[in-house]
Amino acid sequence: MAGTGIHPYHQQWPPAQAPPPPTAPGAPPSIHHAPPHVLFDNSNRGPPTHEEVRTIFITGFPDDVKERELQNLLRWLPGYEASQVNYKGDKAMGFALFSSSQHAIAAKDSLQDMVFDVETKSVLHTEMAKKNLFVKRGIVADSDAYDQSKRLRTGGDYSHAAYTTPSPFHPPPPPVWGPHGYMAPVPPPYDPYGGYPVPQVPMPPAPIPAPSSYVPIQNTKDNPPCNTLFIGNLGQNINEDELRGLFSVQPGFKQMKVLRQERHTVCFIEFEDLNSATTVHHSLQGAVIPSSGSIGMRIQYPFRFIFLQ
């Protein structure tokens, strides 16, 4: 019962001579709102003084649930910090830590009775956990954490996806995999009023034009190689100068022609030789440049031979 003032689970702490820190009778328990990067420092602090429980306990998974499935489910929830799957026998138990108990409660409610998997007809059941998920060693808040090469491969099997601008379909920063199955997402400063966290990837102006990221492209079928490339999927607001900047520095670049059509703009690029074209075909496939929004350009050999100019 919630009104008893007694924790529903026993605690061996404190021993007789060390009473818990004074909480004025009738005063609300102090909730420390530390910034995210210090939230996890449970080290060296003796007993967990009454720490608010901000972890939820989730059951009802199919037996073969993967850590990552849970993470991908939870990433969206405000305040999400870390999660873990443990097995009791072959029953999976999930734990998910949030930045506050309010967030945890909200998450618990929104996951309650969710159909996690239709195939196996698994329906989630959530409760507040008895104690918080232990997250090892805090969060690395160093700049490395934002290194794109380290933030790849999270939601889904993108082999070389990097993220810059989140879109509804290319959401917030992928978490980073920690030691054993933990997920210790690099928390961008969480703005409780701002919806989902937005990755703040420091992108110093590149000396030479470089794509801001790469995203997987859809249509992989192609035409026979030649020394000209067709660039499609450029988005509505594509900026020709940006395009030129990117391609003109590629070895073997000869000329570029932009075709503004009704809806899409496409572009052809001629190279000195087949080799240069092929190299760029590979290296810039899926490249995202600022004016293309968050979509990756598709590079193909042209359907027909194009004679530029």
Partner DNA sequence: AGCACA
Interface residues with DNA (CB under 7 A) are 42, 55, 57, 59-60, 84, 86, 88, 91, 93, 95, 125, 127-136
Nearer to DNA by Cβ, of 118 and 208: the residue is 118
- Alpha carbon 10 to chain centroid distance? 37
Containing H/E element for 139? none
- Smallest gap from residue 96 Cβ to DNA (A): 8
- Smallest gap from residue 266 Cβ to DNA (A): 51
Nearer to DNA by Cβ, of 84 and 292: the residue is 84
In order of 172, 194, 225, 256, the CA distances from 166 in angstroms are 6, 14, 33, 30
Nearer to DNA by Cβ, of 84 and 100: the residue is 84
Tokens for 65?
């649930």
Containing H/E element for 269? strand 265-271
Nearer to DNA by Cβ, of 17 and 44: the residue is 44
| Sequence-ordered list of residues with C-beta below 8 angstroms from that of 16, at least 6 positions apart, any chain | none
Contact status, residue 297 vs residue 287, Cβ threshold 8 Å: yes
- Smallest gap from residue 145 Cβ to DNA (A): 20
Nearer to DNA by Cβ, of 6 and 24: the residue is 6
Q: What angle do CA 226, 229, 235 make, to 5 degrees?
A: 160
Neighbours of 148 (CB within 10 A): 16
